[in-house]
Structure 1
């Protein structure tokens, strides 16, 4: 069966650098496999259990073992989904991260994000000349240009992404075009989101920042006056 060909390996996250368990092939986004990977891990485990019970109850004795094994692919999916979801920050941590970094000035935010990235084994380098890129992430030879200085904007338009894309195309540090990340807590306009999708630019908001800063001690929120 096809599940025997599923091989799991350590691979950079879609952001280009954050670690994640990832398959060597990309399933269609609306396939059962992809939907279950996005669902709580126990959903796949429940399906496997139901298939096993149905096989035990309805199939002839000679075929019960084979029928029960039909649930094995869902056990594999449950294991992959559980590993992915175990790495993700909680909703409370995402909210805490958003509140903390929203109150920071740029130097403090840059220092905290740099600390989080380095804890994940990512090298942070100074930005090349120009205003479009604030710093560069690198891991295992993979470069990612990061635009982060507008992280507190209420909503980011397409122009910063155009500038970031131009910086990517002008970068000749390696033979490959570097990846790109743009950070904005308030989100992106529809035009900006479409542009990012068309050019392969990864957009970070609070949840991605919380993942990048996992393990970092966030400053306590200031008391309300």
Structure 2
């Protein structure tokens, strides 16, 4: 189970930024401590930058492990050429590698896969992965399936095109994560 933090928190922002930004912030904290605090409190003030330093180290580690843009584009091209069964097999293998138990759901439903991990169930809708436009209706169907099954979370997979603004708002408000092109490609590459 991944730790979830507020999207707009300083730490979340620094994790999404280039690694060196965190270290610049740490430098600014140390400079401010030196300029604003008496000598005997300088070390205490400088230590305030320690959590940000740790976030910078985590960001650097993640960014060094991240696949190159060329590999991401190559994976997206491969995904675009896959038939549904191969794509579903690839998703299943990736989530299994992340420690989930994956159940294939009957064809024609709003959800294609059910992921179980740590007593939590997440429904995945991936069959429209090649659609050019993604409106709110498939997300409403996924949300209804989540409620019927008692799943607190859902994932909607998109490899091309964009979600409409209404669809993005609906997903955010109803516990549905949108797994889009680059994040999907990175997940699949990391599963190899």
**In which range does the TM-score fall when normalised by the shorter chain?**
0.7 to 0.9
- Match for residue 151 of structure 2? 177
> TM-score under structure 1 normalisation?
0.72
What is the DSSP-based 3-state SS (H/G/I as helix, E as strand, rest coil) of the residue aligned with 1:214?
helix
Q: 2:170 aligns with which of 195, 198, 212?
A: 195
Label 1:89 to 1:143 Cα distance change in 2 as closer, same or farther (>3 A). Answer: farther
Task: State the aligned residue count.
Answer: 191
- Match for residue 56 of structure 2? 78
What is the DSSP-based 3-state SS (H/G/I as helix, E as strand, rest coil) of the residue aligned with 2:151?
coil
- Shift of residue 130, structure 1, vs aligned partner: 4.9
- Match for residue 158 of structure 1? 136
Structure number with higher helix proportion: 2
Distance 2:39 2:144 in 1: 65
- Shift of residue 212, structure 1, vs aligned partner: 2.6
- Shift of residue 39, structure 1, vs aligned partner: 1.4
Alignment pair present for 1:115 and 2:93: yes
What is the DSSP-based 3-state SS (H/G/I as helix, E as strand, rest coil) of the residue aligned with 2:189?
coil
The alignment yields a C-alpha RMSD, in angstroms, of 2.7
Q: Deviations over 1:159-203 (max 9, x none)?
A: 1111111111111xxxx5341111121221122112112211111
Label 1:28 to 1:130 Cα distance change in 2 as closer, same or farther (>3 A). Answer: closer
- Match for residue 105 of structure 1? 83
Deviates more, 1:191-200 or 1:50-59: 50-59
- Shift of residue 28, structure 1, vs aligned partner: 6.5
Distance 1:191 1:55 in 2: 46
Distance 1:131 1:58 in 2: 62
For 1:1-225, what aligned pairs fall within 5 Å after superposition?
11-12=1-2, 22=3, 26-27=5-6, 29=8, 31-52=9-30, 55=33, 61-86=39-64, 88-127=66-105, 130-171=108-149, 176-185=150-159, 186-216=161-191
- Shift of residue 144, structure 1, vs aligned partner: 1.0
Label 1:109 to 1:140 Cα distance change in 2 as closer, same or farther (>3 A). Answer: same
Distance 2:184 2:109 in 1: 21
Equivalent residues of 1:95, 1:206 under 8 A apart: no
Please list every run of at least 4 consecutive aligned residues from structure 1 whose deviation after the TM superposition is greater than 6 angstroms: none
Deviates more, 1:33-42 or 1:158-167: 33-42
Distance 2:141 2:24 in 1: 48
Q: Deviations over 1:106-141 (max 9, x none)?
A: 111111121222122221112157521111111122
